[in-house]
Amino acid sequence: MTTGVRRRMGVEERRRQLIGVALELFSHRSPDEVSIDEIAAAAGISRPLVYHYFPGKLSLYEAALRRAAQDLAERFVEPQEGPLGARLLRVMGRFFDFVDEHGPGFSALMRGGPAVGSSATNALIDSVRQAAYVQILAHLGVVAPSARLELVVRSWISLAESTALIWLDGRRIPREELQRQLVHDFAALAAVSAAYDEEMAALLRHLLADEPGDGPFAALITRLATLAPA
Amino acid sequence: MTTGVRRRMGVEERRRQLIGVALELFSHRSPDEVSIDEIAAAAGISRPLVYHYFPGKLSLYEAALRRAAQDLAERFVEPQEGPLGARLLRVMGRFFDFVDEHGPGFSALMRGGPAVGSSATNALIDSVRQAAYVQILAHLGVVAPSARLELVVRSWISLAESTALIWLDGRRIPREELQRQLVHDFAALAAVSAAYDEEMAALLRHLLADEPGDGPFAALITRLATLAPA
């Protein structure tokens, strides 16, 4: 039976299946806890056959990671229509979906370590960060970002990563709150930069002018006003 | 001559000297570009004698990193006196001094990779983050932080790291501006959290009440007011 199934799968199909099985296992436990035997069993094939398609665990891990990275980058894509706050909030929802689906694997990858901290995995993480950066600039309508805008966007991306990692460690705050908070954090970091930089201030004024009274940015400004010293 | 000097150095003294020489080299270039031969030459001893004190480059790298981590943690220590904004600004100044002194080594370490991403180095990085976290809680006067306060403090620490890394990549923004901006970012992230959480709001009101009119937090609030929609 198994042999029959195996024969019907082409090389590319079998590779895709193995990557899918591996990604599922690597997502739910730290990669160094997942063995090739386990991957072979989950795929319903023998250990030597896994090695026929992938020379070792690291190459299978990297292939699984490439698929996850592509999946995540696709979730960043959002139509450039409507208020920016609402767009960013939808992307944050899909980002947390991803983090939720790949929790332990995402933590292990982002915290680094011997099993996961290779040059190839670091380059892949950087490519996803770069995809996020390019998407955000496109939504901001900026082609040639200033050093200060680049800092705000890139440092906010790292804030989103660390917020997701802290969330995974116990899930003590509802993710919906964190998704909205990250949208607010973006506005707050931009505002801090804008307080000292006219180019950032002009960009922020332009963005806020398009925000509806019931959007996430407007809600923040109203609530912050109640915190100001009397 | 050299032999005479060598004989006068005790084991601990020689180890300390080697760690100092190695830290200097690892700070100014990526660790995988630094060879044991180079460390031996800089220390004025033979390559076999280096191996007499450290079994290999990794153990010497980890020893250098432990010294750097201790140095950085000591720079976080700040008397708990005076307004919080000014205290945080002084710590940021010392943090950027450290980043400046160890630039390429700091980048290589924080970006991970085969030469530097071991379990031991990751544990050391986490210990420095934890030292920063403990210091900040002490300054805030908080013993049992809520999940939301913990998130604000830990995610701000990661923001400080990523801001420093982005700064090192070209130094296109004056570091004094970034030091002040990080102090403001802390207030901004706390304010975003406080907008939806009464415990954070009470803490923030308490902290801002002690801020002088010419401190970094007051300056931010004044400047932000000019950005608000008319």
- Residues of chain B found within 8 Å of residue A203, distances taken between Cβ atoms: none
- Residues of chain A found within 8 Å of residue B189, distances taken between Cβ atoms: 185, 188
User: What is the nearest CA distance from A220 to chain B, expressed in angstroms?
Assistant: 7
**Structure confidence by residue, pLDDT tens digits, A32-49:** 899 999 999 999 999 999
Region of A26 please: left (phi>0), alpha (psi -120 to 50) or beta: alpha
> How many CB atoms lie under 10 A from the CB of residue B104?
15
Of the ranges A75-89, A162-176, B117-131, B177-191, which one carries the lowest mean pLDDT score? B117-131
Residue B72 pLDDT exceeds 80: yes
The mean per-residue pLDDT over the stretch B90-102 comes to 97
Residue B227 pLDDT exceeds 80: no
* Nearest-Cα residue of chain A relative to residue B171: A147
The dihedral sign for the CA sequence B48, B52, B55, B57: negative
Residue A4 pLDDT exceeds 90: no
A64 vs B: CB within 8 A = no
A221: tokens are: 């400004």
User: What is the nearest CA distance from B118 to chain A, expressed in angstroms?
Assistant: 5
B228 vs A: CB within 8 A = yes
Per-range mean pLDDT, top range of A165-179, B25-39, B207-221: A165-179
| Cβ-based burial of B126 (10 A; exposed 0-12, middle 13-18, buried ≥19) | exposed
Q: How confident is the model at residue A171 (pLDDT cuts 50, 70, 90)?
A: very high
pLDDT, greater one: A222 or A142: A142
Residue A202 pLDDT exceeds 80: yes
Residue B113 pLDDT exceeds 90: no
Residue B118 pLDDT exceeds 80: no
The mean per-residue pLDDT over the stretch B109-121 comes to 73
Q: How confident is the model at residue B229 (pLDDT cuts 50, 70, 90)?
A: low
Give me the pLDDT at residue B1, please. Answer: 45
Give me the pLDDT at residue A230, please. Answer: 43
ipTM score assigned to the predicted complex: 0.89
- Residues of chain A found within 8 Å of residue B113, distances taken between Cβ atoms: 117-119, 122
- Residues of chain B found within 8 Å of residue A108, distances taken between Cβ atoms: none
Q: How confident is the model at residue B230 (pLDDT cuts 50, 70, 90)?
A: very low
Mean pLDDT (chain A, rounded): 89
Q: How confident is the model at residue B119 (pLDDT cuts 50, 70, 90)?
A: confident
A198 vs B: CB within 8 A = no
Nearest CB neighbour to A122, from listed B112, B178, B205: B112
User: What is the nearest CA distance from A193 to chain B, expressed in angstroms?
Assistant: 7
Give me the pLDDT at residue A113, please. Answer: 58
pLDDT, greater one: A112 or B128: B128
Taking only residues 96 to 155 of chain B, the set having a beta carbon closer than 8 angstroms to any beta carbon of chain A reads 111-114, 117-119, 122, 147-148, 150-151, 154-155
The mean per-residue pLDDT over the stretch B44-52 comes to 95
CB distance A205–B227 less than 8 Å?
yes
- A84 with A207: CB under 8 angstroms? yes
User: What is the nearest CA distance from B188 to chain A, expressed in angstroms?
Assistant: 6
Give me the pLDDT at residue A1, please. Answer: 45
Sequence-ordered alpha helix ranges (H) in B102-229: 103-111, 119-140, 147-168, 175-194, 198-209, 216-225
A47: tokens are: 């250990």
Domains identified in chain A and CATH numbers: 1-75 (1.10.357.10), 79-230 (1.10.357.10)
- Residues of chain A found within 8 Å of residue B200, distances taken between Cβ atoms: none
Of the ranges A152-166, B36-50, B211-225, which one carries the lowest mean pLDDT score? B211-225
pLDDT, greater one: A61 or B209: A61
B206: tokens are: 């308490």
User: What is the nearest CA distance from B30 to chain A, expressed in angstroms?
Assistant: 13
